[in-house]
A and B are shown apart, each in its own frame.
Chain A
Amino acid sequence: MTSSLELGPITRALMRNKLGVVLIALQIAFTMTVIVNAIDIIHDRTLKITSPTGMEEDDIFSIRSFGFDSSINAQVLIDEDLDMIRQLPGVVDASRVNAVPASGSGSSSGYAIEPGRRELTVPAAQYSVDEHALNTMGLTLVAGRDFTPEDVRRRTATETRSADQIIVSLALAEEMFPGEGLQAVGRTIYSAEDKPLRIIGIVERLQSPWPNATDWIVERSLMIPDVVIDNSSIYLVRTVPGQRDALMADVEERLAGAGYDRILMNNKSVAQMRTELYRMDTAMARVLYTVIGTLIFITALGIIGLAVFSINKRRKQIGTRRALGATRGGILRYLLVENLLISAAGVLFGAVLTIGFNIFLVRTFDIPRLDWYYAPLGMLVLLLLGQMAALGPAVNASRVAPAQAISPSH
């Protein structure tokens, strides 16, 4: 078997033509390095872009109302607005919130399991909500209970007495009580002002308003039934499936026609918010895909170019091999094995470069470390790319007539 592959003679012949071989192997190595690390970055971004907020995202939208008539009773306005929205056919529920997951805007604070222990503070996003929030968002409660109307503390911005019960995301519960997240109901954590907050419920997932941020805050959130009454409200609305877009227009129209002086803005579905939030990540992924495509194209051209050049230079040699008994398959195999050896040298060096470059990226740009299978998968893909690129020229070479051995023209 080894004899038919001619590994020894091919290797020795390649070693005598180092420059072309080294250049193409380097090109393969650099291509692999960039492609594998780019795919890793794209994969990381894609995971973030597609990571669920915990809400029933397809059926939720929000709209912001900003009243500028000082005679407006804010509490009355909020109650009227929410009653009107909840009574619309197709609306599942509606809630007033201070922020929306994946919207890019919200508030956060630090929490600790002991008062006065600032070094133990865990940052988390904070949603100020009413008793409709959990149902409106469609969150999954995995322990404890939802807020009741009695839990909700409504106050003006100047009042300092706030609610003292909270619902937390499982990720935050696990962070604060490692290994006992699901048993955290009934336990107390402390705000940055050392105010005790008792956990009454845990939801499976609730992302922060900044899921495109660094990992430490993405999944750590809490909801507090603490509603500050003022003229600025964000209404979160959940509809039955398929009616979101129609109700977005309907709700805006009805709020506008309710007879109050106010500005309505940011009427957006969660899907729209997500698109806007991840615009940079999506753009980066597209740029990287373009870079990958271009590099693959250039590398394939390089391999094809080298193969065509080297075959044209050796037409007489190929004819001689055919004259000496090589079948077309034998010539094809010879050239593909030759190309495979060059590609193999490239991907082996490429694997070292890939890992080295990833270590540099991890240290410099906080890029996630490559999974173990990326480098071998990249090697396999580049080897296949190399073989595919060389296949056309090799097939053409296998058609070189044995009479070329005698032809004086080559």
Chain B
Amino acid sequence: MLNMININKRFRTELVQTQALADFSLEVKEGEFVTVTGPSGCGKTTFLNIAGLLETFDSGQYLLDGQDVSHMNDYQRAKLRNQKIGFIFQSFNLMPDLNLFDNVDVPLRYRGMGAAERRERIERALESVGLLARKKHLPSQLSGGQQQRVAIARALVGEPRFLLADEPTGNLDSNTAAGVMELLQEINQQGTTIIMVTHDVGLASRSARNVHILDGRIQSDVINSDVINSESTAA
């Protein structure tokens, strides 16, 4: 599904050079729910950016769904993002001037999909997060948790192969965060691969696999057998 092999990424300024990722290798299989943790500045965001094709890397190889994306140009990467990746952001990143329907519509527009199919998909996605009745509302008329649900609907509406979530519960209170987490787990159980960057150790412990990054390298890659067992039982 996602296979990074010896990825290196450096950031240079006039004064300093920072090795954000160093010989970073990670394989994520289809259907996995992986949390990525680590202290600030460890390289989590760089990993997320490269995984989501938001940023290029200096060396190494990255296979996404079997496709080598290492040498793709900006246009090809944009198309691939649109087709295969759903994003969930810490601060939701909804367009404040668009209602919920139009917000969820954004990735579909870039896919060139017909109006009827878009409408059907948007309504289904909003229904799945329990906000269809509020499709004409603006994001500012919703609570934080509801806004994140809309963002999840937007991430899911294109039926991506995997979701990248950047601190999806970072701006939410604990109750709302738990609700969002349950929703993500449901989505994962329906087959969508999820990679979630988080500071929250408690949330990380609820995922089947946790990758801990330190100084641009994977310090630990732990399979949480308890979660796997409970998921198997639930299934």
Contacts and interface: CB of A to CB of B under 8 A. Distances in A.
Interface of A: 2-4, 6, 8-9, 12-13, 16-17, 316-317, 320-330, 401-403, 405-406
Closest 6 CB pairs of A and B: A325-B82, A13-B97, A325-B110, A320-B93, A324-B107, A403-B54
B interface, how many residues as a size bin? 35 or more
Contact of A406 (B97, B110, B166): B166
A84 to B, nearest CB: 84
B202 interface: no
12 contacts: A316-B93, A317-B93, A320-B89, A323-B87, A326-B110, A327-B79, A402-B52, A402-B53, A402-B54, A402-B78, A403-B54, A405-B93
B110 A403 contact: no
Contact of B98 (A9, A316, A323): A9
Contacts of B52: 323, 402
B163 to A, nearest CB: 13
Interface in B64-98: 74-75, 78-79, 81-83, 87, 89, 93, 95, 97-98
B27 to A, nearest CB: 23
Contacts of A327: 74-75, 78-79, 110
B154 interface: yes
Contacts, number: 92
A6 B106 CA distance: 9
A13 B96 CA distance: 9
Interface string B146-175: 000000001000100000001000000000
B99 A12 contact: yes
Contacts of B89: 320, 405-406
B112 A4 contact: yes
Interface string B11-54: 00000000000000000000000000000000001001100111
B49 A403 contact: yes
Given A17-B97, A406-B45, A324 B54 contact: no
B113 interface: yes
Contacts of A326: 78, 110
Contact of B54 (A2, A317, A323, A328): A323
A325 B78 contact: yes
B115 interface: yes
A327 B76 CA distance: 9
A322 B110 CA distance: 10
Nearest to B87: A323
A325 B111 CA distance: 8
Given A324-B87, A325-B82, A12 B102 contact: yes
A405 B114 CA distance: 26
Contacts of A325: 78-79, 81-83, 107, 110-111, 158
B202 to A, nearest CB: 22
Contacts of A324: 81-82, 87, 106-107, 110, 154
